[in-house]
Each structure stands twice: as structure tokens, then as C-alpha cells.
Amino acid sequence: MPLRIEKPVTLYTIEEARKVIGVSQPTLWKAVRDGKLPAIKYGHYFFIAEEDLLRWKAEHYRADLARRKGSSNQKRKKVKRRRESLRCKE
């Protein structure tokens, strides 16, 4: 059965999609794995349609939460360093 394409579609690899919308690769891979972001596998590559990518970012990706997650991680590192410095003084 031949592949029929109704209209021209722009497809991005995961790396290209990351650059287009400014999201990390692990975030995109997780979305593809979870089925939230449709992707087409061709050989060793996964391709994402531009309209699916933009729809996913608008509906599912929250940049403010992603940034917040990183800042809390930094706080944990500071607490860990503080504890380590207290141990060294004893």
C-alpha cells in the first residue's frame, strides 16, 4: 500500500525539534515515550510533525515548572554542601 500525503508536512528529528521550540532532548523523548507527542520512526530516526510539536508545547509543556524544578535542585545541592562543610569542621 503506497504512502499518501494529503498536504506538505514539515518533519523534525528530535534534535531539530529541540532547537525549534527550546526544550531539552530528554523532555521530548519522555513525551514521545509516554505517547503525548506523536512521532514517526524511520530507521534509527524519529520524526515529529511541526503541527504536533507546536500543539504539544501549547498543551503539555510548562516552562515555568521546568525552571522551578531546576531551582529546587540547586537548593538541595546548597543544603548538601552546607552539611558536608559542617562535618568537616567537627
Per-residue pLDDT of the chain (90 residues; tens, 9 = 90+): 676 778 888 999 999 999 999 999 999 999 999 999 999 998 899 999 999 999 999 888 776 666 655 555 555 666 666 666 666 555
1.10.3470, 1.10.405, 1.10.1660, 1.20.120: CATH of 11-89: 1.10.1660
**Domain map (residue ranges) of the chain:** 11-89
Which residue is listed with cell 552546607?
Answer: 82
